[in-house]
C-alpha cells in the first residue's frame, strides 16, 4: 500500500508518495533544482533533505476524496468554458 510522506527543510515543506521503495512525486518541480514535472525514482538523495514529519498509509478513502475533488474541479472548469 502506498504511503504519503511529508517533510520539512527549513521553512519549506513537501509531500510525496512512496511505494515499495519507489518515490512518486508529482509536485517536486515547484523547486528550482527540479526540472521534471513528475519524479518517479528509487534514489532517495533529493527527498532526504526534508526531515520527515509524517508518514501514513494511503487507502482507498483517500483516492475517493481526491476523485471527488477532481470531479468538482472539472465541473467548475466546464462552467467557465
- Give the tens place of pLDDT for each residue, 21-57: 999 898 899 999 999 888 999 999 999 999 999 999 8
> Is residue 60 helix, strand or coil?
helix
This model's pTM is above 0.75:
no
- Give the tens place of pLDDT for each residue, 54-69: 999 887 666 666 666 6
Residue with cell string 520539512: 8
Torsion of CA 14, 41, 54, 58, to 10 degrees: 110
For 50, 51, 74, the CA distances from 8, given in Å and listed in that order, are 5, 5, 31
pLDDT band for position 12 (cuts 50, 70, 90)? very high
The DSSP secondary-structure symbol of 73 reads: H
The DSSP secondary-structure symbol of 47 reads: G
Report how far apart the first and last C-alpha atoms of the chain are (Å, whole number): 38
Amino acid at each position: 500500500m502506498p504511503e504519503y510522506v511529508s517533510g520539512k527543510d527549513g521553512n519549506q515543506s513537501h509531500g510525496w508518495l512512496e511505494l515499495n521503495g519507489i518515490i512518486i512525486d508529482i509536485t517536486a518541480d515547484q523547486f528550482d533544482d527540479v526540472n521534471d514535472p513528475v519524479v518517479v525514482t528509487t534514489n532517495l538523495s533529493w527527498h532526504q533533505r526534508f526531515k520527515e514529519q509524517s508518514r501514513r498509509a494511503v487507502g482507498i478513502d483517500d483516492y475517493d476524496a481526491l476523485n471527488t475533488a477532481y470531479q468538482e474541479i472539472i465541473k467548475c472548469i466546464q462552467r467557465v468554458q
